[in-house]
Amino acid sequence: MILVKGGVLIKEQTALQFANVDFKYNGTGSSIVENLNFTIKEGEFVSIIGPSGSGKTTLFRLITGLENPSSGSVNIDGSASSHRLGSVGYMPQQDLLLPWRTVYDNVTLPLELKAAKQSISQEEVFDLLQEFGLKGFESSFPSQLSGGMKQRVSFLRTIITGSNILLLDEPFSALDAITRLTMQEWLLEKWDKFQKTILFITHDVDEALFLSDRIFVVRDKPIQEFTEVTVPLSRPRKIRDLANQEIINIKEQLIDQLRMKVHHG
């Protein structure tokens, strides 16, 4: 398939594919994922939304290779490998910044662990810190930062892995509403600039609509398939786009789908 981005024709490549994936945690009886199939294209922004405990974080653990499918395969850039950890950048649900390390030392952790696919000079790290609004805070410790800044440090650390696929697990859920909005706009700008493929877990329907090309709604347990919604908004987006009638209708539909799960489950 061919698509046009910025006036340039490019081939649409698959970044990530689940093929007939089954998964249950060792020693537990119930499946979390059952015969799941889906594909994410390079450069896409896809959100996963669903009730807590439905298996969203488990999907990320399967993608990183922290867990492996009981059967089926998880393919990245067209190949199935059990060493996926280096191929994706994973920003877990808690920020996991090391409190005893400075901003600079937290950000460059992937380089030290050799978990990065690229080598970056100190100068490039400083440029990125500036780009991420962290200039002047290189020597600060996480406890000295605001919530939004901590998330930017954590996100920059994920970018520094050099991976093309970024997995962000509810990155903004602990932020206040205004900071969250600023961070959403900021994330879209960075996504556009760094040309990454992003999978984003959220509880927030507005957040999913504002950010995503497609939204995967988790409705069953085990996860067998997603109810999928394509967001009919062009880019760049403005927050007021969420007030258009077509989006309001989709929002109501999404809320109904999520609510139904609660009633039936």
Residue reference for tokens 């020597």: 139
Q: Which stretch binds ligand ADP (CB under 6 A): 50-58, 76-84, 127-135, 244-252?
A: 50-58
Q: Is 28 a binder of ligand ADP (CB under 6 A)? A: yes
Q: Is 265 a binder of ligand ADP (CB under 6 A)? A: no
CB of 93 to Mg ion, least distance (A): 5
Looking at the Cβ atoms of 215 and 233, the one nearer to ligand ADP is: 215
Looking at the Cβ atoms of 51 and 162, the one nearer to ligand ADP is: 51
CB of 40 to ligand ADP, least distance (A): 18
Q: Which of 7, 8, 52, 234 binds ligand ADP (CB under 6 A)?
A: 52
Q: Is 164 a binder of Mg ion (CB under 5 A)? A: no
Cβ atoms of residues 218 and 199 within 8 Å: no
Q: Is 54 a binder of ligand ADP (CB under 6 A)? A: yes
Q: Which of 10, 53, 173, 248 binds ligand ADP (CB under 6 A)?
A: 53
Separation of CA 188 from chain center: 12
Cα separation, 74 vs 235, in Å, equals 30
Q: Which position's Cβ is nearest Mg ion?
A: 57
Which residues are registered as beta bridge partners of 17? 39, 75
Q: Is 57 a binder of Mg ion (CB under 5 A)? A: yes
Q: Which of 21, 46, 49, 57 binds ligand ADP (CB under 6 A)?
A: 57
- Which amino acid, 242? L
Cα end-to-end distance, the chain, whole Å:
39
Selection from ligand ADP, Mg ion, none that 58 binds (CB < 5 to 8 A by kind) is: ligand ADP
Q: Please give the residue ranges that form the binding site for Mg ion (CB under 5 A).
A: 57
Binding site for ligand ADP (CB under 6 A): 25, 28, 32, 50, 52-58
